[in-house]
Structure 1
Amino acid sequence: MSATTGEDVRATRWETQRGFDELGRPLRDLTFCVVDLETTGGSAAGGSMITEIGAVKVRGGEVLGEFQTLVNPHTAIPPFIAVLTGITDSMVARAPSIEAVLPDFLDFARGCVLVAHNAPFDVGFLRHFAEQHAYAWPRFEVVDTALLARRVITRDDAPNCKLSSLARVFGSATTPDHRALTDARATVDVLHGLIGRLGGLGVHTLEELQSFSTRVSTAQRRKRHLAEALPHAPGVYLFRGPKEEVLYVGTSGDLRTRVRSYFTASETRSRMGEMVGLAERVDYVTCTTALEAEIRELRLIAEHTPRYNRRSRRPHRVHWLKVTQEPWPRLSLVRAVRDDDATYLGPFRSRRTAETVRTALHETFPIRQCSGRLPAVGRGSACALAEMGRCLSPCDSSADADAYAALVTELRTCVTGSIDPVVATLTTRMSALAADERYEEAALQRDRLATVVRSVARYQRLRAVAACPELVAARRERDGRWGVHVVRHGRLAAAGVIPAGAHAGDWVQGLQASAETVLPGPGPLPAATAEETALIARWLESDGVRLVHLDGAWTWPLDGAARHLAQHDAVDASKRSVVPFDERRSLAPVHQPAR
């Protein structure tokens, strides 16, 4: 009697996973342990006990061994169970208890794929008693013949998916009779019958067997060969159609495993099934780090605009708010940033969001909302907003030029620094509306405030990274090596992993020398898309990142919008890793990463 150690379990899992990656684990080469239990009825958690264990070990259709034993439940067997199974109290009185039997069964099944009809029941009992008696439970992979049958067998084949019905369908040489070994033998025949039927549908490996679903068409499964040439490496993959057009771009830490999943039931999106049906080839680009893969994915999506990618297809179709440069400045909604020293806020993915932020800013700063240019001396009449006190009214010459200029300066400061005036204004209005029980209007103010905070914080993050001519940072990858990224004006210019034994400082200098030359974007705009720079900013803020070199200063304002993010429930914190700022953040470079 022996128990599996934790170290043995880890070794078994590693060897199994490695075999799958390299060999594909065809079903004909696997050893299955088909098991069946008889119990006192009910569930293990409810106090039921095992009365018999039967198992058959098979590989490639050949029976390698059988295991059978009665088990003393140390409790009376209910009469109806005794009638059903034929197992009585007298038969199990001298049988070994489960704590004596279980180690022998685990040794018999070790290294096999467990198979059972209604596997959650049988495997659940075995695992329950293994945990109860402190026996290490091997990480068995499990196949449930009942579940497979429900996906394959039709009503024309059998009225139901009971073991007795399936045994008749597949012509089993053994008739199930509610005894453990007999039922296990019948389940072996059912398993072989199901594998034979699934083989005609293109299911030949354990992964395909476990994930088989009628949602995946035969034609879709037959295209799994498209993944065979891909490496087990991080990178970007591109599905191409019959005219060489790019249908879909994705990224993964393991290209081959991820692309294979598109041909199994693990991919449940209907549009992906349609895409795979059109695909003729899968191209790939290997990457050294996960961040490089994500950024290459964004660039390829922007370049090819694949029809089956829903995000990032048109990164330049955005909106900006611009504080214009004219005698009486205003907030203008524009589609592009010019290198004109004006103050911009954005980018906004939708016009609606931009207009929401503009409305919130107008509520705090009563500058003019009319379009068109105004002369230095207005000659018009006051508008309705002026009469309501929501505009200083430069159009009728009643506005003081200095006061208006001071207000515009406050607005520009709000965009680039503190948004406290906006927060104070909207919070006051929200509280007043709530006090008047005008809750829907108060909720509107709350959502508007959250949109402003989120938008300004995002802009300030992008602006800070874009302002750096060069920033080099490193973080340990999963394999323990240091991944290094060179960022210039918010664009990834180079990426790599320091080779083992290399001098880190010399290697990083070489990476810098070979990095892409990047010119700054116009105004506050990064030299990359906003989405790329946001990815870089999020990576820079993640745990374990070390700055290697910094040209310029990477700083955020002391009283910037980031410090308000945590105060608004509407902000989705899972999409940002922004640290609350209690002081101005100035990051000093670390000249050489650890090797």
Structure 2
Amino acid sequence: MTSQPTRPVHHQASFEELGRPLSDVTFCVVDLETTGGSPKAGARITEIGAVKVRGGEVLGELQTLVNPEESIPAFITVLTGITDAMVVQAPRIAEALPSFLELAAGSVLVAHNAPFDVGFLKHNARELGIPWPRFEVLDTAVLARRALLREEVRNVKLSTLAAHFGAGTTPDHRALHDARATVDVLHGLFERLGSLGVHTLEDAVTFTSKVTPEQRRKRHLAQHLPHEPGVYLFRDARDDVLYVGTSRDLRKRVGSYFTAAETRTRMGEMVKLAERVDAVVCATALEARVRELRLIAAHRPPYNRRSRFPERQSWIKLTREPWPRLSMVRRVLDDDAVYVGPFGHRSQGELALAALHETFQVRQCTTRMGRRPRGSTCALADLGRCLAPCTGDLDPDVYATEVARLDAALTGDPAEVVERLRARMGELGAQQRYEEAAQVRDRLAASLRAVDRTQRLRQLTDVAELVAAAPAEKGWEVHVVRHGRLAAAGLLPRHVHPAAWVDTLLATAEDVPTPGNGTHPAPAASVEETETLLRWLESPGVRMVRGSWQVPTAGAARHVAALPTESDDQRATRSRLSA
């Protein structure tokens, strides 16, 4: 994987890139009268009014009463003036709705309190089995709330806004009249929004008071990006990386940072600092996720939360020295030692370390010891918690056997740890020392999860090469993994001979050297990358093309699966306390 970030090409943007000018968009403004407030509760449409406009010119109108096939409530008649006698000869909705859809075809729907009107129309279309076109919708009530101050209008009712903008038609709860008034309100709002830098349909749809004009003006930062999957990098004026993200559609995702869709305060701050957006187009979504991880690790962007303090990860290390011991370390070296982890929080590592020390009598002191130590015993030796090699009286073979048992628990089946700590939990439970039993349980869980995580990583890092594929919309997503690192990714088109195509992909894949003699779990990639690959390999539909990887039956996974959940433990605690 050697793709380089694409940089913006400075050019005069086309009208398509800038968005659709409001003066060029065809709008269909609609208003309904109904027998009630909710179609799901049985309310029916009694009148449809619609006006089709573009550039301030009326292109067509529609007005029709609709027979609701039920009596109109008296209070609705008082409100609208529509009586049962007026609708008895009117067309039913099955005839009226297609006429409206014909008028509205190719338009952007506009309504005042659009969820009400559009909701009724979609509900009836669904009942009649009529496909609902994927209309874009503008709501003049929402635009008014965002564009007008409370000092200007006391509310955003249609009658209030019509009076404020001097509409030529007074709304009176008849559909066509209200639609005509909404047209005038819409044009008045467009004039107001124009002074706020809103000139396109895209600007109007995403306009919000929470998005500053400065942020909206930066929409051009996304215009050079393709509608392809990949990774994007926001950079500031000094070319420093501010934020790294991934998306299946680079242009659409980056564009959302300059709209109301982005509500995170931190991202608003980041956008204010951004001066450029680079992108790396990726063949697959998995490649994009891996590249994102690598770029975050390389640049440590200040606005990526997960890039903060990676040095706080901890590992448990079984040293390789004359008298090996366990220790907590920050870094993994290629020193032939056994490593378990990583732990996101040191406290979890300390719990796991305590579980191992409770099971195995290896030394806990940090003193450097030669092959023939001379010293005195410590308290742990007196308590039977350490074999005390420091005295010089211990047979090295006895200590080596203890270390071998510990090594087997870390790299193989930790059954000995499970048996020892479960027995201890049983003893404490019998003595009603439940808090101490819970502490032992936490140590056991921490150690098992750490060993399981390490063993899962090694399942993949020990494999020199495998090729796997998963079905995608346009073919097959194919990935080459070498020693737990993504070496290549590609999209195999359908109806292409796979063998030759895979050979070509392998020939261009990254060369990942065979790890040295270290036994840490991820020598060729970050832990996060290898775990990301594992999750993908375990996902439904993935098939092995070449090579394989296996999950050992005798390992920590079976013990992790048997761990009680938090809810199980809470129920057990309540049961004990109530007994």
Q: What TM-score bracket applies, with the shorter chain setting the length?
A: 0.7 to 0.9
1:500 Cα deviation (Å)? 6.3
Q: Which whole-Å CA distance do the structure 2 matches of 1:517 and 1:26 have between them? A: 51
1:94-132 C-alpha deviation (Å, 9 max, x unpaired): 323333322322333233322211122222222233333
Q: Which whole-Å CA distance do the structure 1 matches of 2:276 and 2:183 have between them? A: 38
Contact 1:392 1:398 in 2 (8 A): no
- Matched length: 549
Partner of 1:8: none
Change (3 A) 1:315 1:520: farther
Contact 2:474 2:494 in 1 (8 A): no
Change (3 A) 1:317 1:92: same
1:392 Cα deviation (Å)? 3.6
Q: TM-score, normalised by structure 1?
A: 0.84
1:68-94 C-alpha deviation (Å, 9 max, x unpaired): 112233333333322222222322233
Partner of 2:543: 546
Q: Which whole-Å CA distance do the structure 1 matches of 2:430 and 2:199 have between them? A: 67
The amino acid across from 1:85 in the alignment is T
Contact 1:331 1:369 in 2 (8 A): yes
Q: Which whole-Å CA distance do the structure 1 matches of 2:102 and 2:65 have between them? A: 17
Change (3 A) 1:566 1:117: farther
Q: Which whole-Å CA distance do the structure 2 matches of 1:437 and 1:168 have between them? A: 77
Q: Which region of structure 1 is more displaced relative to structure 2, 29-38 or 491-500?
A: 491-500
Q: Which region of structure 1 is more displaced relative to structure 2, 257-266 or 346-355?
A: 346-355
Question: Pairwise mapping of residues 116-515 of structure 1 onto structure 2 (< 5 A)?
Answer: 116-312=111-307, 318-374=313-369, 379-396=374-391, 401-430=396-425, 440-480=435-475, 482-498=476-492, 503-515=497-509
1:221 Cα deviation (Å)? 0.4
1:315 Cα deviation (Å)? 5.1
1:165-185 C-alpha deviation (Å, 9 max, x unpaired): 111222211111111111111
Where 1:311 maps in the other structure, the secondary structure is helix
| Structure 2 residues not aligned, in runs of 5+ | 1-14, 567-579
1:465-496 C-alpha deviation (Å, 9 max, x unpaired): 2122222223333312x333222222222223
Change (3 A) 1:438 1:199: farther
1:107 aligns with 2:102: yes
Change (3 A) 1:569 1:113: farther
Partner of 2:526: 529
Where 1:34 maps in the other structure, the secondary structure is strand
1:201-231 C-alpha deviation (Å, 9 max, x unpaired): 3334444433322111110000001111111
Contact 2:459 2:551 in 1 (8 A): yes
Q: Which region of structure 1 is more displaced relative to structure 2, 56-65 or 554-563?
A: 554-563
Where 1:238 maps in the other structure, the secondary structure is strand
Contact 1:463 1:526 in 2 (8 A): no
1:244 Cα deviation (Å)? 1.4
Q: Which region of structure 1 is more displaced relative to structure 2, 524-533 or 432-441?
A: 432-441
Where 1:72 maps in the other structure, the secondary structure is coil
Where 1:492 maps in the other structure, the secondary structure is strand
Change (3 A) 1:433 1:223: farther
Q: Which whole-Å CA distance do the structure 2 matches of 1:190 and 1:89 have between them? A: 31
Q: Which whole-Å CA distance do the structure 1 matches of 2:68 and 2:18 have between them? A: 43
1:34-70 C-alpha deviation (Å, 9 max, x unpaired): 1111122332222322222211122232222111112
1:355-379 C-alpha deviation (Å, 9 max, x unpaired): 2221222222232222223455665
Aligned identity (percent) is 62
Change (3 A) 1:394 1:34: same
Q: Which has the higher contact order (CA 8 A, sep 6+)?
A: 2
The amino acid across from 2:486 in the alignment is L
Change (3 A) 1:99 1:499: closer
1:299 Cα deviation (Å)? 1.8
Change (3 A) 1:161 1:565: farther
C-alpha RMSD of the superposition: 2.8
Q: TM-score, normalised by structure 2?
A: 0.87
| Structure 1 residues not aligned, in runs of 5+ | 1-19, 572-595
